[in-house]
Structure 1
Amino acid sequence: MATPRPARAARVLLPTLLAALLAAGCSTTIAGTPSPDPAPPPTEGVGADPVAWGDQVCGALLSYYRPLTARPDYEGADLPGIKDRLAGYLGEVRGGIDAGSQQLTDAGASPVSGGDQFKASISDLLNRTGTTIDEARAEVDQADPNDVPGFQDRLTAAEEKLRTIGAAQGLEELGATPRLDKAVDAAPQCGELEELTAPA
């Protein structure tokens, strides 16, 4: 059997490659009965305003989710083109993760109970996802467009790594966090994040 030409192979290799990327979201509902919050609010910095703090933390996730949802357009691409566009896409996602991690650092300590755990869960998500994106990018970088079966194997390996991307962990243990809930509800970037991660 003749080896498929790269241009033809480009049209048949990618029907599911990126489908897994958006399968996992970070939409979390924090349940509980409102009660007094014992955390003393900071008197300066971002943490002096719970809404501003929540907005910056949600902005850190947006820095990651925006490029993640901007899927590459492979229309008319041959195998080298597919490799370049996919590598560029993964690079944009990695850049968003790095920017988000810096935003989390800049946000500082939480002014409300539960906020630091919320922030730590997001930091863990970004760190784990960054490692996965790096591993997927390594597979794509090693894909040889002149070796069609090997190229497909590399992209399949990248897809399998991307399927492991999950959501923030530990948020179910927060319990009642009325001030955090209020801050998140009022923060503009948290609202944008909720819309972006809402099930289709």
Structure 2
Amino acid sequence: MKTKILFAALLGALFATTACSGEAAPPATPATVTVTPSPTPLPGPDAKTVAWLDGMCGAIHGYVKASNDHASKQGSGVEVTRPWLSQDLGVRAELAGKVVDELSALPASPVPGGDAARKSLVDSYTAARDAAAEGKRKLDASKSQAALDAGLKALDAAQKPLTETTDPFASIKMDTPELLAAASAAKKCAPGS
């Protein structure tokens, strides 16, 4: 990059000198640019930060992928029956529980504001897990219409993380070169991961 800037500056200076003198420009001679390697290479992204970001992204993207896979197996126009609803609530509770476990297992955040963002996500997925598990429990314990209605409400609550933002870093300022480098190195944070 320095080479291109230096070369462009040399050409600009040559052009300005020639244009102002009113004389014909001498024939252009190739410029020789010497590149001096930096005495110390720039450090790569911090491995702990990359690992932490991968953990956050992996948990959230894993949930979205698993939830979408589960939904695609259901097909469209599924008839909501007690057995179907009970099974679906069980799957939703399991998927949300996995996210809670993965996020809770992460070490303290090396990213400013990261622990608060993680806590917010853990709270959201815990609520989804608990709603699905409680809805399934009530549905399986009673054959009443009220239990079926409660199961449907639990299903809505269990799917709430899907309707909320899936960007685990929405509340974190990722504006330093170090954080941006770490985020770009975190493979599980890449689109489609």
- Cα RMSD between the aligned structures? 3.5
* Aligned match of 2:58: 59
Instruction: Give the AA of the match of 1:179.
Output: E
For residues 96-175 of structure 1, the aligned pairs below 5 Å read 96-105=98-107, 108-110=108-110, 115-143=111-139, 147=143, 149-162=145-158, 164-165=160-161, 166-167=164-165, 171-172=170-171, 174=173
In structure 1, the residue matched to 2:14 is none
Identity %: 20
Q: Which amino acid aligns with 1:118?
A: G
- By how many angstroms is 1:89 displaced? 0.8
Distance 1:151 1:74 in 2: 22
Amino acid at match of 2:175: A
Q: Deviations over 1:64-111 (max 9, x none)?
A: 334333325457988343134213312321331233223423xx441x
Change (3 A) 1:66 1:138: same
Aligned position for 1:92: 94
Q: CA deviation at 1:121?
A: 0.6
**Larger RCO (CA within 8 A; separation ≥ 6):** 1
Mapped to 2, the partners of 1:98 and 1:57 lie a distance apart of 11
> TM-score by structure 1 length?
0.54
Q: In structure 1, how many angstroms separate the alpha carbons of the residues matched to 2:80 and 2:159?
A: 24
Count of aligned positions: 143
Unaligned runs of 5+ in 1: 1-40, 42-46
CA distance in 2, matches of 1:132, 1:103: 18
User: For residues 173 and 51 of structure 1, what CA distance do their matches in structure 2 show?
Assistant: 15
* Bigger Rg, which one: 2
Q: Look up the match of 2:23.
A: none
